[in-house]
Amino acid sequence: MITTVVGSYPKLSPDAGAPSLRAAISRHDAGRITVEELRRVEDDVTREVIQEQIDAGIDLITDGQIRRDDGQTYFARGIKGFTINGLIRYFDTNTYYRHPIPERRLEWQGAIGVGDLEFAVAHSARPVKGVITGPYTLARLSQMGCYRDLRSLVMDLVPILNREALALQQAGAEVVQFDEPAILQHKDDFDLFAEAVEGVTRGVTARTAVYTYFRDVSGIHSRLFQLPVDIIGLDFVAGPANYDLVRDFPPDKMLGFGIVDARNTCLETVEEIASAIGRVSRVVSPDRLHVNPSCGLDFLPRKSARAKLARLVDGVRRAQEVRS
Amino acid sequence: MTRGLLTTAVGSYPKPEYVLRARARVARGEVSPKEMEELEKRATAHWIRIQEELGMDILVDGEMYRGDMVAYFAENWEGFTTSGLVRSYGNRYYRKPVAVGPVGRSRPTTLEWWRYAQSLTPRPVKGMLTGPYTIVDWSFNEYYPTREAFLMEVARAVHDEAVDLAKAGAEYIQIDEPAISTRPEEMEMAARALAVVTRGLEAFTITHVCYGDFAAVFPQLAALPVDMLDLETANSNYNLLDLIRQHSFGKCLSMGVVDVHHHETESVEQVKEGIRKGLEVLSPERLYIDPDCGLKTRTEEESVAKLRVMVAAVREVKEELGIE
């Protein structure tokens, strides 16, 4: 069993003396520090959250996405043709992101997250996952702009994000993960989605993952499980129906098992986590599990995120003891 | 002559600088709660006077004493604590309420503020409450085994508050539910909770809802157990009125005619155009006119300018159509 995270990690530490990204951004916005000084604080906070994940016992980490305002604009700002509009709600969460609009036909203009991934790899004793907002979700969470239909927007994003995936692999990503929560809100689009996943993972030899969250995968689960990726991530907190659906989980894939609630501070017990692992292990053997929170941890205060990861690791250990 | 087109506001107004400064100092213990209350009263009286001078029909107290619409209730009730900082978007953070025990009031929460505001004016002042679904959705839950249990307990507390306001003489009671249409699958439960709030209440009840896929849930919105629905119609170019046209709608509508997210003030002509669109679907008795949402994010000058245009437009439409 491998313990991992879905991606984001809370940016603000409550610890006295910890570097404050919030203060640094305000100071930068007010013109009181340079962009280089802001980058140094981002570096410090990134090192800090990498260490927190490692200290919690997480095997496969991310950079915590400290430098991302959100999963959409981080990529949209790096793709030629996008402009960024006003705030809009992110799914059913009480958080917001800025709405990307493709004003012109989208074009690749360079790698986006490679520098951040290289930084994480250089500062982590554990392997690092590269996380990309997948083409379907990025398109769904953007306005249509100059595009006439969703399909043409998705399919223009595919080669751009495929180059990004290849670049992250080159930079040392152990796993290249595509976050695709939007497909669960529009299951009728599965054919387009499958085509996009196939295109965006083409030529990637690092292990690949597609992560879904916020709902269960009923209605699309058998087709989802056949996608040409190595790891499929499911949210078992928002979607408890997934326990039944993974009975069809194919033997040649890994399951991203999202079990601690990354949207609520209520701390699961070790027993609850261990018993959830026991339950899923009846159909997916433990050596094929990536155990992780239900989604990115940025919905929680830092202390709670830390406690959740520590608890996740304890739950996995307990489950291993029970089996051995 | 037909009557109607009463003017009102959604709830919040911008806080004057002296209130904002004092709030920060209260947090540091430099201003006493008593002094703070005096400043909040002064600001409340200021806004009551502005609304009277503008000639509005149904007034609000402006919520000078509230921070966040959910946190305000959580801070004053039993069973809640507040979380560490969580991110809303970009560099914006807030402390989220956390249910840690049985939640509820130990004494009335808003009653004294309503009494104070009403004592300043012969015009009706609305009782302003946050709805149970929104309180639950915007809080962490570390106590209740299910969202439903949490929701129903909050609903009982909001009901008790509403009863107190009605007994004290509030003719209008608004229960804001911006989150209510977040999850279509929970609308039925949310409506049941709102029914607990309004059951047997001797007042004209209003609910303000402000985002979501209204087209998907409009029949449920139209059936909510309140007398009037308050919608942000201006910022969607009055497209929401089509939903009223397409569905059976037996309620009154409070119709937003100025966009609260833009600095620019609409022209009287623009607002009149909006009101006429409203009159195409509902009679003036059933149509109330207000800004799209709370004005607290605008400046005082912007807010007053928008309200002034709103009142002027209503007056002109009334004269043109012979409405009293």
Please write the tens of the pLDDT for every residue from A53-88. 999 999 999 999 999 999 999 999 999 999 999 889
CB contact under 8 A, B90 and A266: no
Closest C-alpha among A320, A322, A302 to residue A3: A320
A320 interfaces chain B, CB cutoff of 8 Å: no
Residue B72: per-residue pLDDT:
96
Find the closest chain B residue to A215 by CA distance: B183
Strand partners, A212: none
* Whole-number Cα distances in Å, B60 to B10, B115, B125, B294, B316: 8, 12, 5, 10, 23
Find the closest chain A residue to B186 by CA distance: A92
A286 interfaces chain B, CB cutoff of 8 Å: no
- Residue A316 above 80 pLDDT? yes
Mean of per-residue pLDDT scores for chain B: 96
What letter would DSSP give residue B266? P
Q: CA–CA separation, B28 vs B17, rounded Å?
A: 17
A16 interfaces chain B, CB cutoff of 8 Å: no
Virtual CA dihedral for A130, A133, A135, A138, nearest 10 degrees? -160
Report if residue B30 sits inside a domain.
yes
- Which member of B86, B96, B183 has the closest CB to residue A92? B183
Query: What domain range includes position B146?
Result: 17-67+114-321
- Residue B216 above 90 pLDDT? no
A228 interfaces chain B, CB cutoff of 8 Å: no
| Residues of chain B with C-beta less than 8 angstroms from the C-beta of A12 | 84-85, 87, 93
Find the closest chain B residue to A90 by CA distance: B89
CB contact under 8 A, B89 and A95: yes
Q: How far is B139 from chain A (nearest CA, A)?
A: 9
| Residues of chain A with C-beta less than 8 angstroms from the C-beta of B89 | 69-70, 87, 95-98
Cβ contacts of B20 within 8 Å, gap of 6 or more: none
CB contact under 8 A, B88 and A89: no
What are the contacts of A14-23 at 24+ separation with CB within 8 A? Answer: A14/A301, A14/A302, A14/A303, A14/B84, A14/B85, A18/A45, A18/A48, A19/A44, A19/A45, A19/A48, A21/A45, A21/A66, A21/B91, A22/B85, A22/B91, A22/B93
- Which member of B86, B93, B211 has the closest CB to residue A89? B211
Confidence of residue A126 (pLDDT cuts 50, 70, 90): very high
Find the closest chain B residue to A92 by CA distance: B182
Q: CA–CA separation, A13 vs B85, rounded Å?
A: 9
Find the closest chain B residue to A263 by CA distance: B140
User: Is the Cβ–Cβ distance between A293 and A269 less than 8 Å?
Assistant: no
Cβ contacts of B131 within 8 Å, gap of 6 or more: B158, B175, B176, B177, B180, B190, B193, B194, B197, B207
Closest C-alpha among A232, A214, A215, A235 to residue A223: A232
- Residue contacts between A and B (CB atoms, under 8 Å): 59
- Residue A103 above 70 pLDDT? yes
CATH classification of the domain holding B267:
3.20.20.210
Largest CA distance in chain B: 57
Residue A323: per-residue pLDDT:
75
Q: How far is B13 from chain A (nearest CA, A)?
A: 21
Report if residue B37 sits inside a domain.
yes
* Whole-number Cα distances in Å, B233 to A79, A86, A196: 34, 18, 37
Which of A86-90, A123-127, B1-5, B52-56 has the least mean pLDDT?
B1-5
CB contact under 8 A, B138 and A70: no
Report if residue B94 sits inside a domain.
no
Query: What domain range includes position A69?
Result: 2-323
Confidence of residue A191 (pLDDT cuts 50, 70, 90): very high
Residue B238: per-residue pLDDT:
94
Return the ∠ at Cα A317 (arms to A314 and A320), rounded to 5°. 155
Length of chain B counted residue by residue:
324
CATH classification of the domain holding A296:
3.20.20.210
Find the closest chain A residue to B147 by CA distance: A264
Return the ∠ at Cα B84 (arms to B80 and B87), rounded to 5°. 115
- How many CA atoms within 13 Å lie on the side-chain side of A241? 10
Condensed to tens digits (0 to 9), the pLDDT of residues B177-209 reads: 999 988 999 999 999 999 999 999 999 999 999
User: Is the Cβ–Cβ distance between B318 and B299 less than 8 Å?
Assistant: no
* Whole-number Cα distances in Å, A258 to A10, A154, A235, A284, B243: 18, 26, 5, 14, 38
Closest C-alpha among A123, A140, A127 to residue A177: A127
Our measurement of the distance from residue B211's CA atom to the centroid of its chain's CA atoms, rounded to an integer in Å, reads 13
A12 interfaces chain B, CB cutoff of 8 Å: yes
CB contact under 8 A, A22 and B142: no
| Residues of chain B with C-beta less than 8 angstroms from the C-beta of A264 | 140-142
Residue B202: per-residue pLDDT:
96
| Residues of chain A with C-beta less than 8 angstroms from the C-beta of B87 | 10-12, 95, 298
Q: CA–CA separation, B114 vs B118, rounded Å?
A: 6
Confidence of residue A22 (pLDDT cuts 50, 70, 90): very high
Closest C-alpha among A269, A263, A266 to residue A311: A269
CB count in 10 Å sphere of residue B179: 24
Report if residue B252 sits inside a domain.
yes
- Residue A271 above 70 pLDDT? yes
Q: CA–CA separation, B141 vs B88, rounded Å?
A: 18
- Which member of A22, A86, A96 has the closest CB to residue B93? A22
Q: How far is B12 from chain A (nearest CA, A)?
A: 19
Residue B164: per-residue pLDDT:
98
B116-139 mean pLDDT: 98
Total domains, chain A: 1
* Whole-number Cα distances in Å, B268 to B255, B312, B320: 16, 7, 14
Which of A92-96, A118-122, A258-262 has the least mean pLDDT?
A92-96
Can you state the angle between helices B187-198 and B214-222, rounded to 10 degrees? 30
Q: CA–CA separation, B133 vs B70, rounded Å?
A: 10
- Which member of A26, A69, A265 has the closest CB to residue B98? A265
Residue B1: per-residue pLDDT:
58
For residue B55, count CB atoms less than 10 angstroms from its CB and return exposed for 0-12, middle for 13-18, buried for 19 or more.
Answer: middle
Condensed to tens digits (0 to 9), the pLDDT of residues A206-226 reads: 999 999 999 999 999 999 999
DSSP codes of every residue in A233-255: EEETTT-TTHHHHGGG--TTSEE
Instruction: Indicate if the alpha-carbon torsion angle B118, B120, B122, B123 is positive or negative.
Output: negative
Residue A13: per-residue pLDDT:
96
Q: CA–CA separation, B310 vs B278, rounded Å?
A: 14
Condensed to tens digits (0 to 9), the pLDDT of residues B158-170 reads: 999 999 999 999 9
* Whole-number Cα distances in Å, B78 to A134, A290, A321, B20, B105: 43, 40, 41, 26, 6
A120-139 mean pLDDT: 98
Closest C-alpha among B189, B157, B148, B187 to residue B175: B157
Total domains, chain B: 1
| Residues of chain B with C-beta less than 8 angstroms from the C-beta of A300 | 86
